[in-house]
Amino acid sequence: MELQYRESLPDQHAYFALFESTGWNREYGLTPEELHAAAGRSWFLLAVYRQGRLAGTGRVVSDGVLHALIVDVIVLPECQGTGIGTAILTRLIERCRAARIRDVQLFCARGKAPFYRRLGFTDRPADAPGMDFKGSPAPAAEAS
């Protein structure tokens, strides 16, 4: 299985199809343009191609110094279990280490924690810092 790794944004439609394969978009309701814009603002993005077809991606959102968040590690269902996910995550972590980022966190999809634990991630304690925001953002004029 020949793989190509590219540190560039994949084609908008191929990336959207890959993202759709996760089922996450039922909650987010992103358009292909919105998803592509979000991915394009990543601090680091890695795309993996198998036989010329987009097979997986992963990205890091970061300030480049202190905090980094690994998100959207996705591998096509038919390519899962082939080592692509491990290769993506390893390269994302290596990039963070090379930049000497002190705090690397992970946004983990439901049911995937065992995969990430095998690669060195640990669960956050219930009393650890951090929360999710589930409300509506304030209108732009009121935000400060």
Active-site residues: which are they?
A: 116
The C-alpha atoms of residue 14 and residue 76 are separated, in whole angstroms, by 11
Q: Of 110, 96, 102, whose CA–CA distance to 66 is shortest?
A: 102
The C-alpha atoms of residue 104 and residue 119 are separated, in whole angstroms, by 13
Query: Which DSSP letter does residue 11 get?
Result: P
Q: Of 112, 118, 52, 51, whose CA–CA distance to 80 is shortest?
A: 112
Q: Beta strand 67-75 with 103-106: parallel, antiparallel or unpaired?
A: parallel
